[in-house]
Structure 1
Amino acid sequence: MFPLVIFVLLFCHSHCLVGSLNDEGYALLSFKQCITVDPEGSLSNWNSSDESPCSWNGITCKEQRVVSISIPKTKLYGFLPSTLGVLPQLRHVNLRNNKLFGSLPVELFEAQGLQSLVLYGNSLSGSVPSEIGKLRYLQTLDLSQNFFNGSLPSSIIQCKRLKTLGLSQNNLTGSLPEGFGIGLVFLEKLDLSFNKFNGSIPSDLGNLSSLQGTVDLSHNLFSGSIPASLGNLPEKVYIDLTYNNLSGPIPQNGALMNRGPTAFIGNPGLCGPPLKNPCSSDTPGASPPSSIPFLPDNVPENPDDSAGKSQKARGLSKSAVIAIVVSDVIGICLVGLLFSYCYTRVCACGKGKEEIGYGFEKGGKGRKECLCFRKDESETLSENVEQYDLVPLDTQVAFDLDELLKASAFVLGKSGIGIVYKVVLEDGLTLAVRRLGEGGSQRFKEFQTEVEAIGKLRHPNLVTLRAYYWSVDEKLLIYDYIPDGNLATAIHGKPGMVSFTPLSWSIRLKIMKGIAKGLMYLHEFSPKKYVHGDLKPSNILLGQTMEPHISDFGLGRLANIAGGSPTLQSNRMATEKLQDQRQQKSATSEVTTISSGTSMGSNYQAPEALKVVKPSQKWDVYSYGVILLEMITGRLPIVQLGTSDMDIVQWIQLCIEEKKPLSDVLDPYLAPDAADKEEQIIAVLKIAMACVHSSPERRPAMRHVYDALDRLAMSTD
């Protein structure tokens, strides 16, 4: 025992441990000593004076031997020690959704009886050790949402009892190990999404007959053709191959049949059904066309032998012609009746009823309110609505177009990119529906690709896009409804508000962290490392616990495709005016005067937006910095100074140059917090100033911003 104690002390730089604790207790105390922050006191009763660790929080024992360590979602900040591997009876480790960093110690895999290792939602990095192959009894391995890199070790196939393998949202590369589908035949759940796996998809994956739910290989770099053997998977399995580099025809067998295009989008080289991209004759794997298309099999080789028969076949009998005409007339009538029925079902906003605000109508008792998304507040949703349908982007979507159209709805707001409605379905489900433009009827495929990519994004700090609707006259985006308004209103209130409750500093810091986390996901973990491009407080929505949700991501491009009127160009023009005034100030050393016509959104755009057409992640960092300044000062992005105005970045720089006290800069509502939180507020102010640096290269990445805010919050909890 003595050498083990010495190792623990040296490994974690801890103080001397004394008492009657057994070996396993000391091994666990090494873990406690490697946790530098435990904000919820999860390890508070882990004491060296105990005889065994079996009564400690998160520890389960069997016959006085540790079999399980389960401490999830407690914000533990630290790293994993190698000594956990000396626990001989350890079966389960669950440390998900903490803040653990560093690499996986290879010594951990000396606990060869381990059955589940769940570490998702941390900040662990480095490669997955090849020693993982020692875990012959492992059934669950979930390392998702970390920063692991390198290739998946070939030894993984030695874990032959594995049922769940989750590796999504890491930086893993390379091809899947040879024999992956043969060695892991008991796999039930497989998620490899949002990595950088490359090479071909192993054909032996079709041997994984125990798979259930979704087999997610999306958002990787897999290339080559789709193995037809994937069709051998259970038919109820959904195979997600979106956003790879796959090419060639899509096999039409088994589990690959009758799948919509959403399972294959983002692979420009794929062709054939269900995609609208037909395979050419020279596409490898494509079926060659017949030399004489549509030639019946029973045509005689010698045409002369069937002259009489062919003569009869040249025309149709009179009775056949009459039958065809009658059936056509009946078909047209049925289609007309269907159109009429659908029109009355979609929106019976007839004349003579009392209209209420926002383009909705009110009948008498027992009425059904009708959702009429209007062009001029008087037209119905779409005359062509029956030609299209609501397209769900989530398996949880349980409503259809008819339910949406009959729902009660209220206008939440209008902008340069359409009207936003709050829609309440009959079952009480509340949604936000944005109506886009009326054009772009020839760009459906482009719209579909873009909107379905956005619909794949899932993060607690992003507003989730649940479904969309497209027709010639209407384009609708259906989002989760976020109930507590937006950040702009939370900071400043708005005219007509009966009461206004200012945000405390702790709530503001929570919001700052949430926005940073959402942006970090967009920049580093989303496909193609997306850029928001138009971040501002009005499109940061707040949930019931004041958790921020970034909205309007990708909206400018969607509106452009749909024929709407994106605000980005108008913001650019306003920014140019602002830049002209900045230059005038520089030349005259006078306070800048902002035109009353300047768009508020332009005040969040980075200075280089004037010169560079394509937005960059550094644009978002600048916008985020302006939002931080707004939350610290409580001022609008344009600060009024007497009869003149100045943008908030210049105003803060001026205050710093003049060495004004913090009280002159701080939001007056934060005065009660200032005494205890002054150092924290100043630290956040420094982060904000780094974000709004005039040189994009000098601005920090959102990952570093989030880490800094996170450490700052934990240091004062």
Structure 2
Amino acid sequence: MGSLQFPKYLLVMILFSLCRSSIAQYEQERDALYALKHVFNDSFLNDNWNGLQCYENTSFWYGIQCINGRVTAILLEGGGLSGKVSADAFFVLSELITLSFRNNSMSGNIMDFSSNQKLKDIDLSRNMFDGQIPRSLLALNFLESLQLQDNRLTGSIPEFNQASLIAFNVSNNNLSGPIPGTHTLKSFSATSYSNNSPGMCDSSNPDTCYYTANDTAGESRKKSVATIFIVFDIIGLVTVILLLILYCKKSRKLKKLMKRNRLEEKDDEDLELEAGGSYYKESKDESNIQAGEQRVIAKEEKGNLIFMGDEAGFNLNDLLRASAEGLGKGLFGSSYKATLEGRPGVVVKRLRDLKPLSNEEFTQLLRIIADQKHPNLLPLLAYYYSKDEKLFVYRYAKNGNLFNRLHGGRGTRERIPFRWSSRLSVARGVARALEYLHLNPSSSLCPVPHGNLKLSNILLDENDTALVSDYGLTSLVALPIASQRMVSYKSPEYQNSKRVSRKSDVWSYGCLLLELLTGRLSVHSAPPGINGVDLSSWVHRAVREEWTAEIFDMEISVQRSAAPGMLKLLQVAIRCCDKIPEKRPEMTEIVREIDNIKYVASDDEDELSVDQSLTDESFSTNASSVVVAGNGRGW
């Protein structure tokens, strides 16, 4: 037996070692970048270089580019950076391809690049580097461009002879000749060597360059070849200018966005985080919130609210003058309740992190969202669009969100029990809303019609009717942000193959049902800093280990007549959470099954003890059959 287990043990150890190695590489690269930040001590980098430096092929740090979670480029140009970078600063950045510190005030010797075998482009020009050109550059077999001009370098030029090297400049230094006579170095014009020691090269006369005799090939340089290089130089110069213009525009936009985000954080500093994760307690000083909202919008270009129906009756100025209460800061923006005189309250949502859309594109997508009308969808009343500000206006749901209804006030006398009939009504309403979204032809524009279904996005009106909100945002949000924040992108199919579909919404709905049935906090809806439970795995283990009485929330397990309906809804939830998307049911089938679950006659049941029907052997058998059915579907 021991010999049979050895290969499996060895495989586990190998996978563990690879995972640990990957994490170690990530941490080492982060520490190397932190060391650079410490050397530069630049206020902008100190604020920006924090958190995750790489997420797959995306970096949130200014000037950093990543591929597969590894740093591949450092582009810090024209930022006035100063300091002496250590020789081993880039030893752990083995995937580095591009490095540019162009036009700064850095000093000291040039770094050792012996561990950066993938480097193609190095630009250290227009700094104050001194000392010799490091010979580690000779080992870079993929090096295509080396720009060292306008520094204080001394010594001789190493024997560069890489066939890949097509751009080279060491002009305006203190280098001394002669130039090594390699084929590569002799292919560059005199301007690449000008303004060094007397006699090395005269930029006005290429024939004056003084080479050593170790390579006789190419001694008779033809004028046609020189002309070709001049043409390439001109093309390269034009390309650099265009890239510089593009870089400046991007840089200004980034700085403006960061400034705006800092202002948003300042506006929200009076809000306290509540258990709902995406909602906050109301601020006692309402005037501060209202003033913060006015400060941001007042600076935007003039415009007005665009109403999506016949709801008009107030304008943007009325909204700004209304009393405001902070509701919270969610994943895609902050929300405020505005109370207008003589009108029902509305919710204003300030959106952030959207894709760059023109007014026409934004309006078209908003029309598609607004045209989706269903009794269980929270309707969009109006929107506001300007270059730097986007607002959504909804009607106010008086009874809050489902997260607070299910989890809020547990263990306190103030809590009103959330009974079975109410939970079944919510499950039915949400299913009908999702079915409508999935069957609506306009939803075909989105890979997942909702994409972010969770308890905090289910609101309850004055009649406790479930209203699904935040639908359609997948069309407005860029994929890297959606993959980090939206629930559907946490589904098994996205984790395994980076794909989502309508069945990802079905998976999210199954997770929501499990949370409704168990009363436990799901890992998919837990607020930041609070640990949730992988409910599908937990329910499976509970039945397998025969502690099934603990599956259902105590607030509904005391209701004797609810047991059959609870088991049926649990079976629906398990089928929705199947790891294989194709085996999950369609929303139409789910609605039909939930409609067949009967409400109990009354929620006033004996609460002195847990219903024995939920603890006896028959329940274990029934629940086990539910999970066995789920196992047949890959759950």
Q: Normalization by structure 1: what TM-score?
A: 0.41
Give the helix-richer structure, 1 or 2. 2
Give the strand-richer structure, 1 or 2. 1
